[in-house]
Amino acid sequence: MYNNKTFLAIIPARGGSKGLPGKNIKPILGKPLLQWTIEAGKNSKYIDELVVSTDSNEIAEVAKNCHAAVPFMRPDHLSGDTATSFVALKHAIDFYSSELQKEFDFIIKLEATSPLRTAEDIDRAIETLMKSDADAIVGIGRTEDQNPAFLVRLDNQNRISGYVNPDMTVIRRQDVDDIYFFEGSVYISKTDVLLEKKTFYHSNTLGHIMPKYKTLEIDDIDDFVMVEALMKQKCYK
């Protein structure tokens, strides 16, 4: 709770990963991947309840072993490749409202694929949002070599042309505007606004800048290896 406002954190973790099968419970530094996000959420100073939304009995068992709530199983029709994350969040919100008679002022989405995010990152985002008049806040990272000023297109003969810099004149990194990308580690919204907009991204959303190394998400084995190496170097435990 923060200033008498309540927060429900939802970790969506379906079982059907294509890029890295079983990734949500794949061990990383001796813990299932999911456990790192559960621990970050449970160590937050402000989160009132944390729930894992999954369609997988195996993931549910791991979540329960990590002392996370799994009060329901997500239906198959809300868990396929085409199902959006919003429908999973709405399902959890509706369950708490109708089955447990619990309403929350804010919803936090925490992706299990961002294990470098910590409780301190979550709490900083909450504090920033609560001190503003915004309705939502999302994690963002600053582009570096991926800044549009340095990107090129390929034609059908593999010749390059500048994406936003047609002449491909040399530009110093310090001379381009900072551009940010959605990095996926934390999403927070007023519950009523999330249900109305069906997204965290809109004109009254703040950006929560995350350090470069924390913006890595695990989608495939390459990501997994890089994230694990960073966790070792940064002494995560």
- Chain segment 24-63, per-residue pLDDT in tens: 999 999 999 999 999 999 999 999 999 999 999 999 999 9
Average pLDDT, the chain: 94
Whether the per-residue pLDDT at 17 is higher than 80: the answer is: no
Q: What is the pLDDT of residues 165-216, one digit of tens each?
A: 888 887 887 778 899 999 999 999 999 999 999 999 999 999 999 999 999 9
* Residue 38 counted as domain residue: yes
In this structure, the number of other CB atoms found within 10 A of the CB of residue 49 comes to 17
* Residue 46 counted as domain residue: yes
pTM comes to 0.92
* Residue 155 counted as domain residue: no
* Residue 91 counted as domain residue: yes
d(CA 48, CA 150): 43
Nearest one of 132, 117, 142 to 189, comparing CA atoms: 132
* Residue 111 counted as domain residue: yes
Cβ-contact 91, 73 below 8 angstroms: no
* Residue 37 counted as domain residue: yes
DSSP letter assigned to residue 69: B
Q: Which domain holds residue 125?
A: 7-143+178-233
* Residue 101 counted as domain residue: yes
Q: Which residues pair with 103 in a beta bridge?
A: none
d(CA 54, CA 63): 10
**Count of domains forming the chain:** 1
The CATH number assigned to the domain holding 35 equals 3.90.550.10
Q: Which residues pair with 9 in a beta bridge?
A: 50, 108
For the ranges 18-27, 63-72, 184-193, which has the lowest average pLDDT?
18-27
* Residue 1 counted as domain residue: no
